[in-house]
Amino acid sequence: VQLLESGGGLVQPGGSLRLSCVASGFSFDTYAMNWVRQAPGKALERVSDTTSSGYNTYSADSVKGRFTFSRDNSKNTLYLQMNTLRVDDTAVYYCARRAWNSWYFDLWGRGTLVTVSS
Amino acid sequence: QTVVTQEPSFSVSPGGTVTLTCGLSSGSVSAAYYPSWYQQTPGQPPRTLIYGTYTRSSGVPDRFSGSILGNKAALTITGAQADDESDYYCMLYLGSAIMMFGGGTKLTVL
């Protein structure tokens, strides 16, 4: 049972990046999935929640209008499309599984680092 | 704007007991906020310790316990060990699919 993020890297301000999170070992299509980020030396920040079907998504005000969230249940994959990136988007981005029918995270990926810098 | 509050730092002696708290900038925390607690060491992803106020995640030692103390959620570590030195984050469910982390508590064991 694991989550594996990929797609992080260095990008210039105003640029775009797409992160992926591949799930294995569990029924991906029955769980809501989240992105949680952590800027260097800062606290955890929940960025998004995508329901099991992908029809409903919550996103933090800090990323609304710039980030879009999706999932492909046939590929057991969660996506984060980041556009108009800012320096303060620099963070480790974790994929996290929201426990079934509940409001906490019961599985975390190892994270992928996104650095926004010129 | 609601803020989830935690002590920025705390210290405990090896073998001692420490209680970390999780509050709201306005209002009281109850079990209805479904408090959960996460432990994080540098360079590692968070580890889920406690959910639903009291329930320990699989594999979490029983020296970790969760509760409601007064108007806050609380994480108590009884018999602290050196490898409990970590950052601890609480998270509350605020309704309407909003889950919010606190600012974290850096725990030193010395």
Q: What is the pLDDT of residues A87-118, one digit of tens each?
A: 999 999 999 999 999 999 999 999 999 999 99
Which residue, B107, B90, B88, is CA-closest to B99?
Answer: B90
Contact A63, A69 (CB under 8 A): no
pLDDT band per the 50, 70, 90 thresholds, residue B1: confident
Which of A45, A49, A111 shows the shortest C-beta gap to B45? A111
SS3 call for B74: strand
Longest dimension (CA), chain B: 41
pLDDT at B106 over 90: yes
Please give the structure tokens belonging to residue A51: 């329901």
Query: Residue A24 — very low, low, confident or very high, per pLDDT cuts 50/70/90?
Result: very high
A45, A99, A106: residue with CB nearest B101: A45
Q: Is the minimum CB–CB distance between A103 and chain B shorter than 8 Å?
A: yes
Torsion of CA A86, B94, A40, B107, to 10 degrees: 170
Across the interface, whether the CB atoms of A105 and B36 are under 8 A apart is answered yes
Query: How many angstroms separate the CA atoms of B97 and B4, rounded?
Result: 16
Query: What is the pLDDT, as a whole number, of residue A100?
Result: 93
The closest CB to that of A109, out of B45, B89, B101, belongs to B45
User: How close is the nearest chain A Cα to the Cα of B51, in Å?
Assistant: 7
Digit-coded pLDDT (tens) for B32-91: 999 999 999 999 999 999 999 999 999 999 999 999 999 999 999 999 999 999 999 999
pLDDT confidence of residue A68: 96
Mean pLDDT of A68-92: 98
> Hey, which bits of B1-62 come out as E strands?
4-6, 9-12, 17-24, 36-40, 47-51, 55-56
Q: pLDDT at position B87, please?
A: 98
pLDDT at B67: 98
Q: What pLDDT does A69 receive?
A: 95
Give the residue from A103, A105, A106 with the most B CB atoms within 10 Å of its CB, the best one to mutate.
A103
